[in-house]
Amino acid sequence: MARRRLKASELRSNFEPGSSRWAVRRAQWRALGLSDADMEKPKIAVVNTSSEIAICFSHLDGIAKRAKEAIRAAGGLPFEIRTTAPSDFILSAGRRATYILPSRDLIANDVELQVEGPQLDGMLMLTSCDKTVPGQLMAAARLDIPTLMVVCGYQASGEIAGEHVDIEEVFLHAGYHAQGATSFDRLKEMSEQAIRSPGVCSGMGTANSMHSVTEALGLALPGAAPVAANSPAMWDQVDRAGARLVEMIWEDLRPREILTPAAFRNAARVNLAQAGSINCIKHLQAVALEAGADVDLYETFDRESDRIPVLTAVRPIGSHSIEAFEAAGGARGTMKRLEPLLETEALTCTGQTLAANLEGVEITDDAVIRPLDDPHASEPAIVLLKGTLAPNTGIVKVGLRTPDRKLTFRGPARVFETSADAEAALSAGRIKPGDVLVLRRQGVRGGPGMGGASRLVFAVEGAGLGPEVAVVTDGQLSGLVNKGLVVGEVQPEWAEAGPIALVEDGDTIAIDVREKRLDLEVSAAELARRRAAFIPPEPTTDSGWLSVYERTVSDLRKGASLIPDARRKEK
């Protein structure tokens, strides 16, 4: 069914001639060299997270230039705007890595200020490193003006003596080096060879997972993800997206028509089939809240994990490269395989349904993207746990299960409140096989901002204890699969007086992935006594962005969102 096309006078950016807003805007824009004819066109924000501080974003200025040319050629008027440009590996140096997750919400607010203030008509988002994707999606859902996401690509990884090396492996081996398992010279060589082009991390970590999820949601063009940075396929996507966005504005096709509960369920299914990042769960929940979509992504992932097989095994959970996955069909290929399990009536940015977008799609390599009846695994790679230690949730990234993969663990707790203290205990030999390391005060409020716990996990593996100990934390984890049992994002977190705040050294903790259980074997009466003695924490900061975040952030089940409770109730 054809959509009614807007008239130029209906564009929200076209103010009434002679009004104060029209006059001062015309004065500003005439001084920029714009004509009266230009000022009648759809006005489009090209949202650029360019930065010289990280390789992830170093190519975005060139993409912005090309995107603006495509928009002009299609009859639009582009304005490039800049936002915060967070790279986890760079931002993690300060404040115990607590700036990482809060950067997502800062991006959403940056976009709101620079697009809603001037009343622009649409947004072309240049999406790159992993927090830019959900931050931009949140802004799209919040502002609800025509928006397209342009996937700006993954980096080329390197080799050492014919063996693959990428940035995630550098991160992993830094933990090994801390425990003496990797030499300094080897680590230095890896850091010199791991990255050979601009773009995001090359594995199926959070960035490439979120790029796939964006296409599954319907806010990126079909075939957009993954894509090699600066490749012909990426440039073709930029050109097509610029032209398509102008059409979306005339059609008045808005994100909330696309970001429906069905779209979010489809995105969850794609992430499960690709064994993608567990971070997608909280990001999708935050976007759903902004969109007013009535869907609980934690329940969705839990329910869908029992019926969605693992169809791809891209590094780090398998041996396939991201390049092989792209060549085989990428996220669109995954969706084609999943078609019988998807809600294909969902509307997408093309103006067509997902079913229409999947017509004629072919997978070129059955070994890389497996058929439904011959998956890499029928058991889920991502498992959500509950129990007396995690009344709300805890998440395990199991990966592909092998006969020697431990799925149960029971042992005494060793409690730490900083990663540095835990690593010191590990180096001193105070961590023994059978221990359950509890790393707390890492959550969205307790951090604040959810510092990463992966450094400790990699140090444990470097010490040779990976399969012999378990780790339980209210912090977040890297997309890498761990050799031992690692439970992240335990909720309620320490700062909310969740059970993780009440664990003491020597308490018995039991993990059972098959039963989806995480339990603290302490009597209810004893936990009640400890809870009564728990002193709620004071805010850790009294100024700056982290102070604002700490005082306003919701728990993870609400996506670690900054949407006030009143607005949640209205929605």
Q: Which residues are catalytic?
A: 478
- On the 0-12 / 13-18 / 19+ scale of CB atoms within 10 A, 1 is exposed
SS3 390: coil
Q: Tokens 């060793």 label which residue?
A: 414
Q: In whole angstroms, give the CA distance from residue 450 to residue 481.
A: 19
Closest CA to 454 of 183, 194, 88: 88
Sheet containing 408-416: order of strands: 382-385, 393-397, 485-491, 470-473, 436-439, 408-416, 508-512, 517-520
Residue 44 β-bridge partners: 78, 122
Q: In whole angstroms, give the CA distance from residue 138 to residue 144.
A: 10
Buried b (16+ CB within 10 A) or exposed e, 57-76: bbbbeebbebbbebbbebeb
DSSP state for residue 306 in the 8-state scheme: T
Residue 410 β-bridge partners: 510
Strand (E) positions, 423-468? 436-439
SS3 334: helix
Q: In whole angstroms, give the CA distance from residue 100 to residue 114.
A: 22
Q: Is 152 left (phi over 0), alpha (psi -120 to 50) or beta?
A: alpha
Residue 158 β-bridge partners: 165
Sheet containing 147-151: order of strands: 77-82, 43-48, 122-127, 147-151
Phi, psi (degrees; rounded to nearest 5) at 268: -60, -40
Question: Are the beta carbons of 511 and 408 closer than 8 angstroms?
Answer: yes
How is 473-495 classified by DSSP, letter by letter? Answer: ESSB--SSPPSSEEEEEEES-GG
**H helices within 194-344, ranges in order?**
206-217, 232-251, 255-258, 261-273, 279-291, 297-304, 322-328, 330-338
Closest CA to 372 of 302, 306, 462, 308: 308
Question: Between vectors from CA 421 to CA 545 and to CA 411, what angle results, nearest 5°?
Answer: 115
SS3 397: strand
Question: Are the beta carbons of 85 and 54 closer than 8 angstroms?
Answer: yes
Closest CA to 223 of 205, 238, 204, 243: 238
Q: In whole angstroms, give the CA distance from residue 568 to residue 296.
A: 13
Element (H, E) at 79: strand 77-82
